[in-house]
Amino acid sequence: MAAMLRRRFLQGYGLLFLGSCALAKPSESTAQNKVKRPNKLHFAVTDLSGYDALEQDFGAFRQALEDMLQLPVEFFAVENYLAAAPALLTNELDFVMAGPSEYMLLRARASAVPVVGITRPQYAAMVMARMESDINQLSDLKGKTIAMRTEGSTAGHIMPMKLLLDAGVTPGDYDVVMLNRKGFDALQSGQVDAWNDSYDRYVEYVKNPGLEDKEIKVLAVSENLPPDVFVANPSLGTKFLDELRTTILQNQELLMSALLTSEANQKYTSSDLVAVADADYQVLRDSYYAIGQGSAIE
């Protein structure tokens, strides 16, 4: 009888033990699925250098992002988009806002992960000439001088060269001067034969002042370009990046409102934050190779 009781006790204890193990498994699974969060995020904008400029144009956005993530977000100033790549590689930098062309470089050199894009309605490259000139189409630009924006600029360099190439005008057929914001003035004064830039700047310099079809003629307009993009350091991990993407998209109204407090960001007035993938930028990657500058993004 005593032996039988001992057997029943041991059987009951064994069942209790197995039950406790079964209950423990979800906790172990939860621990494995827990998101590993960084202590803070270091945030840069590729076309802004210096903390004063970052604070002026992105201070409200940084604060809104910090509040949403419940995680400190600190500015990280870079001299230019080239400097962002090594900072990502050394894990000094976590989160970067970049243009499509800058993204190509950050992806190639630092394996940057696209998190969300910020759309820009009518974001296109344009090529223009003076109304009184005998330049009426892109093929007329052979042997001419063209003002472009900056080396590697999406709408101010890469895509205009692709437009010209598609029209049968190769890079060796014309001269380029990089004049940043002075390209329009150089066109008006006759220092250059043509000027290219984004649709945003066409509106600012030509359309709003009423110069279209009077002093300036449009030779070509590209298709809409891929959106600007917020990219992240891959070392943050897939789970945290998924959380970051979800948080931004779920709170985009508040983030966009914060972004638009700066006059410099009014080009995003009609923008949305959207999920993006590397494939969304393939058209730009193809353009780099087409114009013979593929090595820049390798």
Query: What pLDDT digit, counting tens, does each position of 107-120 carry?
Result: 999 999 999 999 99
Alpha helices in 47-127 (DSSP H): 51-69, 81-89, 100-110
Query: What pLDDT digit, counting tens, does each position of 254-294 carry?
Result: 999 999 999 999 999 999 999 999 999 999 999 999 999 99
Query: What pLDDT digit, counting tens, does each position of 21-60 carry?
Result: 444 444 444 445 577 899 999 999 998 989 999 999 999 9
Q: List every span in the chain annotated with CATH 3.40.190.10.
A: 41-120+226-297, 125-221
pLDDT at residue 28 in the model: 44
Dihedral sign computed on CA atoms, order 189, 193, 198, 202: positive
Predicted model pTM: 0.83
Helix (H) or strand (E) holding 282: helix 282-290
Query: What pLDDT digit, counting tens, does each position of 92-139 carry?
Result: 999 999 999 999 999 999 999 999 999 998 899 999 999 999 999 999
User: Between 3.90.1180.10, 3.40.190.10, 3.40.50.720, 3.40.50.300, what CATH number should domain 125-221 receive?
Assistant: 3.40.190.10
Q: Is the pLDDT of residue 8 over 80?
A: no
Q: Is the pLDDT of residue 198 over 90?
A: yes
Q: Is the pLDDT of residue 12 over 50?
A: no
Could you tell me the two tokens for 110? 């630092």
Band of residue 80 on the pLDDT scale cut at 50, 70, 90: confident
Which percentage of the chain shows pLDDT scores above 90? 84
Residue 3, burial from CB neighbour count under 10 angstroms (0-12, 13-18, 19+): exposed
Residue 19 gets the label, from left (phi > 0), alpha (psi -120 to 50) or beta, of: alpha
Across 21-35, 143-157, 181-195, least confident range: 21-35
Distance of alpha carbon 176 from the chain centroid? 26
Q: Is the pLDDT of residue 16 over 80?
A: no
Which CATH superfamily hosts domain 41-120+226-297?
A: Periplasmic binding protein-like II (3.40.190.10)
Phi and psi of 44, rounded to 5°? Answer: -130, 155
User: Over the chain, what is the mean pLDDT?
Assistant: 90
Cα 157 from Cα 178, distance rounded (Å): 9
Shortest CA distance to 187 belongs to which of 197, 173, 200?
197
pLDDT at residue 82 in the model: 87
Stretch 180-195: mean pLDDT, rounded?
97
